[in-house]
Amino acid sequence: MRTIFSTGRLLRTSFPVWRLRRNAANLASIQDVMKLQEKKCQSVVFPVTDLEKLLSPDIDRTNFRLFNPVMEDIAEAEKWFKPAGKHVIDYITSAVRMEHTPDLRQPEVCFIGRSNVGKSSLIKALFALVPGIEVKVSKNPGHTKKLNFFKVGKAFTLVDMPGYGFRAPEDFVEMVEGYIQERNNLKRTFLLVDGSIGIQKADLIAVEMCEEFGIPYAMVMTKIDRSRSAVLVTQFMQIQDFITSQTHGCFPQPFLVSSLNFSGIHLLRCFIAHITGNLQKVS
């Protein structure tokens, strides 16, 4: 069996995410993250940094930072996630079937994943700089039963999707598959996987769906604040290996996020701005 851990590091490594929790509300903007000590700042913006330290040096890190913008790019991208003048960000409509989806031509990205994996929370965190925006986060699984559209000015649209798995709506297949297959302006699908438990059977159904339709998608590991780094790094490496060996259309870099303490949120905002053509030059 391959050893992924570097010797002696596990005991010495603390979990900066716990410490960052206290100030989470302050970290919604990159300007505030940049005021942190360099190490903490890196850990919030690039959560993989904390995991890399645990790995033995011979592990191939090529795909850990395939998307590796500089802070200026991240700050530039954040502008799209803040309302200003005519740049209005808001929930616009919900749809239960394709005929009800809004006729928008601007680039779109959507978020799919099991019920309770953190889709709505992630969208809420991405929009944390938008005063008054309402993104429903459920206490009970299976809350989002519609496709919810959030328009980010004329730049792009984010779509929160119904969850599959527990109490999924019966017409889920028709709704989600129909949308993913037919939506012409869909630029990227984000497939969310619970970072504290890794890939589940139901996630594989979503992977198969994305692979079958040949759409570009990326995996996002959610709730990374819930796991100790030693557990998280194992899940991360498993997902990394899975993407390399089992997928074709999946972006080789899994994104790590916590909607609770904003780890990875700024990087994901930057990636969304980039793939929707709103940040042409990523250094």
Ligand X SMILES: Nc1nc2c(ncn2[C@@H]2O[C@H](COP(=O)(O)OP(=O)(O)O)[C@@H](O)[C@H]2O)c(=O)[nH]1
Residue number with CB closer to ligand X (163 or 278): 163
Q: Candidates 9-17, 31-39, 202-210, 217-225 — which segment interacts with ligand X by CB under 6 A?
A: 217-225
Nearer to ligand X, 83 or 142 (CB): 142
**Contact partner, 227, from Mg ion, ligand X, none, Cβ < 5-8 Å per class:** none
The least CB distance from residue 105 to ligand X, in Å, is: 27
Chosen residue from 225, 237, 251, 274 binding ligand X by CB under 6 A: 225
- Of positions 47, 83, 163, 165, contacts ligand X by CB under 6 A: 163
> Rule CB under 5 A: which of 120-139 touch Mg ion?
120
- How long a stretch of residues is the chain? 283
- The rounded distance, in Å, linking the Cα atoms of 283 and 281 is 6
Q: How far is the CB of 225 from ligand X (least distance, A)?
A: 5
Q: How far is the CB of 3 from ligand X (least distance, A)?
A: 29
x-or-dash pattern for ligand X, window 123-142, by CB under 6 A? Answer: --------------xx----
Cα-Cα end-to-end distance for the chain: 38
Backbone region of residue 32 per phi and psi (left: phi > 0; alpha: psi in -120 to 50; beta: other values) = alpha
Strand order in the sheet with 108-113: 89-95, 147-152, 156-160, 108-113, 186-194, 217-222, 255-256
Bridge partners (DSSP) of residue 221 are 193, 256
**Binding positions for ligand X, rule: CB under 6 A:** 113, 115-121, 137-138, 143-144, 163, 222-223, 225-226, 258-260
